[in-house]
Structure 1
Amino acid sequence: MQLHEVQYDDRKPIDGYGPGFFRVGGERIDGGALLLPSGVAPWAGYEAAGPLIAAADEIDVLLIGTGAEIAHIPENLRAALEAAGIGVEVMASPSACRTYNVLLAEGRRIGAALLPISEAK
């Protein structure tokens, strides 16, 4: 078996996640996370659609992580993203993290908007 080191260029992979946070490129982001070619930033959730729409020229597909379980996103958000020419894939945040890293390693024009999994109770 031959193993090859994955090269991510300037983009940062998701290193991990836990209750209430994501670790991206070695840095912790508390709460939601937005990963775009222009950079990594906290994400306030579905109401913060502006940065997602603005990324239409940078990405082909946006992965939306809905937390610990898959859930529907607001229809107006989906419609706005699709009208901007962005493909939308909705999945649980753990799946979105794994998918993001795979597509990033393939050099795809990918973005992710991730809601954290719930805090441990």
Structure 2
Amino acid sequence: MRLNEVAYTDALPIDGYGPGFFRVGGEVHQGHILTGATGTTGWGGYEDADPLLALVGEVDVLFIGTGAEVAHIPASLRQQLEGAGIGVEAMNSPAACRTYNVLLSEGRRIALAALAV
């Protein structure tokens, strides 16, 4: 069987997650995160829109992980992001991590803001 090495962009993949943490590129981050080509930082949740809006022109799609369960993100946050030209896909955080990794491996311009599970 032939295996191909996956080449990521400057962004690092999500290696794992658990109660209250994410492991990104081998480094553990406690709490909610925002990750993409510019690095990984803590994220303040739905009320913390500024770092998400700073992604304008850098990403085409922002995945928002809603925690352990699927939930709607606040309508005002969705309107702000979409009004700024950022596509938004909300799903539970485990699914958002998996989807982020797949599209990252394709070299897509994406980011992930995820609530801890």
* TM-score, L = length of structure 2: 0.97
The aligned runs of 1:1-121 (5 Å cut-off) are 1-117=1-117
Deviations 1:39-98 (A, max 9, x none): 110111001110101101100000000000100111000000000100000000000000
| Percent of aligned pairs with the same amino acid | 64
Give the alignment's Cα RMSD to 1 decimal.
0.8
State how far apart, in whole Å, the 2-side matches of 1:36 and 1:50 are. 15
* TM-score, L = length of structure 1: 0.94
State how far apart, in whole Å, the 2-side matches of 1:9 and 1:56 are. 18
Given that 2:61 and 2:88 are in contact with CA atoms closer than 8 Å, whether structure 1 keeps it comes out as yes
Shift of 1:9: 3.6
Runs of 4 or more, structure 1, over 6 Å off, are none
> Number of residues paired by the alignment?
117
State how far apart, in whole Å, the 2-side matches of 1:30 and 1:15 are. 14
Task: Please list every run of 5 or more consecutive structure 2 residues that lacks an aligned counterpart in the other structure.
Answer: none
Given that 2:12 and 2:36 are in contact with CA atoms closer than 8 Å, whether structure 1 keeps it comes out as no
State how far apart, in whole Å, the 2-side matches of 1:44 and 1:51 are. 9
Instruction: Letter of the 1:52 partner, please give it.
Output: L
State how far apart, in whole Å, the 1-side matches of 2:9 and 2:107 are. 9
Given that 1:32 and 1:114 are in contact with CA atoms closer than 8 Å, whether structure 2 keeps it comes out as yes
